Chains A and B, each alone.
Chain A
């Protein structure tokens, strides 16, 4: 590959790249923008929906739990207020109360107890042996004695099991006493742990210190900071339910929904992994990404294919343009050669004319009496005749050259195709002789004139005949040229019996720059120019060839409505170009 070809192929490669990039950018930019905006909006919307759902859920449970606690509190309060201290101090009576309560509320109430101001449980009803237990140091007792109603945090207490206490303070003979009930932890726990959504959604309760108040189904890491953070944020928040997303210690994003219970003592927390909560959204996202990727691949493939095709077409157009330029140059060259030939022909014509005239003069003189008797008279006459004949031959050659080389233009004129063919054959006959080729013509007489450019047609026949002669150069052969009228067309066959054209090449012979001749011998333009000229005239050229049998070109030229010969041409016919 030479450097110029290299640079043009680089040029086309750069062009392809540019087109691909443009197509990709132009197609992708709107796609990314639109899908991005829509998806973002959708995500926001979906998030809102999930949040709203969670908020409602948590709020509902907050109410349920709060009302549960309030209910238990009011049950105990009712009991405490309904009976006197003396009555409740009686363990059997207390046992009866508990039995009644348990009958009503199942096993929610685990036990009942009455504690005096010194923290001694004076009466107890329940499954444990806690009568006379001392609570004076217990945290819950200290708090409970200081307020009218009290619900404790969950603690292990004396029995060593998690539970919490509902207590009511009453007064008896100027001293406080406390009526308390233990709430079944399992039952309460159920209230919270029953909140289960998706795979990872669960709820729990924290006290103010961030300690868990419910039992967990999952091992959640005791990440206190997050819980303390939840409490702090919950307090700051003006809403009753607070939602936020945060990463946990395992670096997983979680949604936390929190709501205060028990007048802010406890915090109900609902926790779910974001990925789980937004599973639907993520699936949608996944599908969208797949569609985007498939679409993207389609666009990129299209960009590649289209650009390639486009650039190939451009390259072909460029090549055609190049060929046209070549053709113009070729025509220009022909014109120059034509002028040169015309000049030379004219210059030779004059001396030849003089020679012939001089010979004629000698012949004139030989007719005088004094030369009549000369023994060499016949010989003189023969020589002069020969000079005359050869002069005429020169004249014929120069005339043909002149008529061929006459201004190479593409102006249309009346063309007698047979005369034109004979002219070209005449010019090629010398070459044919050297190549040992016999050219024979079979021209139909009185063919109508064609409206065409004579020079261009000459070029066509010159090319075809030269090609045939080139093909038969080694072995010789015959070249037959026939013309005939066929409807509104004149058909001209140019058939040789040379080596033929292999089928593989047959389809390409009219392509520009296609040549089988050695480098430097042919431009590969001849037949493509012929093709161009014939097509321009509205005609047709096709080729049939059999290897080792020969090649036959057939040209069909349309007859245009000929205006007939003009008067001037008629009168000229007798003496011009005889």
Chain B
């Protein structure tokens, strides 16, 4: 099994392509999207996506907007924000909206891997807890 199923969203096609290759090589399962809208579509198609790497600055639906939608429809999916320039304001906003973390482009591959795996872990923990809770609920009902 892959380390994590990741959706990579950026409007720069060459960036997405290279990143896909590099992350795949490091054992991640990568899906890609080139806009916010496409990302939402992919998410709908594949509900087992665990982590989304999301570029903040994109034409059309931008990262912050996409983040809102994602958190609305799939609250458990973890999002790592990626941006060309970091401003405290966008960072704070991203965190408030429930992003897992925040990275600057171009980013260090090891750092990115660490963040993504941590995000995936968190997601799995959350899911595990939910399953546990459900089990508890079911068992308590049976009892």
List residues of chain A with CB under 8 Å of any chain B CB: 342, 345-346, 349-350, 352-354, 356-358, 360-361, 364, 391-392, 395, 398-399, 402, 406, 568-569, 571-572, 575-578
Contacts and interface: CB of A to CB of B under 8 A. Distances in A.
A576 B90 CA distance: 11
B84 A350 contact: yes
A406 B87 contact: yes
A391 B25 CA distance: 22
A361 B92 contact: no
Given A349-B105, A358-B14, A395-B105, 20 more contacts: A342-B85, A346-B85, A353-B15, A353-B106, A353-B107, A354-B14, A354-B18, A357-B18, A357-B106, A360-B18, A391-B106, A392-B106, A395-B106, A398-B84, A398-B85, A399-B104, A406-B87, A572-B95, A576-B86, A576-B88
Given A346-B85, A360-B22, A572-B91, A354 B12 contact: yes
B43 interface: no
| 4 pairs of A and B residues whose beta carbons are closest in the complex | A353-B106, A349-B84, A356-B106, A402-B85
Interface of B: 12, 14-15, 18-19, 21-22, 25, 57, 84-88, 91-92, 95-96, 101-107, 109
B95 A350 contact: no
B44 to A, nearest CB: 28
A350 B12 CA distance: 8
11 contacts: A346-B84, A346-B85, A349-B85, A350-B84, A353-B84, A354-B18, A395-B105, A398-B85, A568-B95, A576-B91, A578-B104
- The residue in B21, B25, B85, B95 that gathers the most chain A C-beta atoms within 10 A of its C-beta is B85
A132 to B, nearest CB: 149
A217 B83 CA distance: 123
Given A342-B85, A398-B85, A577-B86, A572 B102 contact: yes
Contacts of A578: 104
Nearest to A348: B84
B76 to A, nearest CB: 21
A364 B105 CA distance: 19
Contacts of B91: 572, 576
A539 B25 CA distance: 57
Nearest to A342: B85
Q: Is the interface of A mostly helix, strand, loop or mixed?
A: helix
A360 B85 CA distance: 21
Task: Among B21, B57, B106, find the residue whose CB has the most chain A CB atoms closer than 10 A.
Answer: B106
Interface centre among A342, A391, A568, A575 (most CB of B within 10 A): A575
A364 B85 contact: no
A572 B92 contact: yes
Contact of B21 (A356, A361, A406): A361
A352 B92 CA distance: 26
Contacts of B103: 575
B119 to A, nearest CB: 14
Contacts of A352: 106
A543 B141 CA distance: 81
A394 to B, nearest CB: 9
Contacts of B14: 354, 358
Contacts of A349: 84-85, 105-106
B57 A346 contact: yes
A45 B35 CA distance: 106
Contacts of A575: 101-104
Contacts of A346: 57, 84-85
B55 to A, nearest CB: 9
A350 B88 CA distance: 20
B71 to A, nearest CB: 18
A357 B104 contact: no
Given A345-B85, A398-B85, A569-B88, A357 B22 contact: yes
Contacts of B109: 360
Contacts of B15: 350, 353-354, 357
Contacts of B107: 353
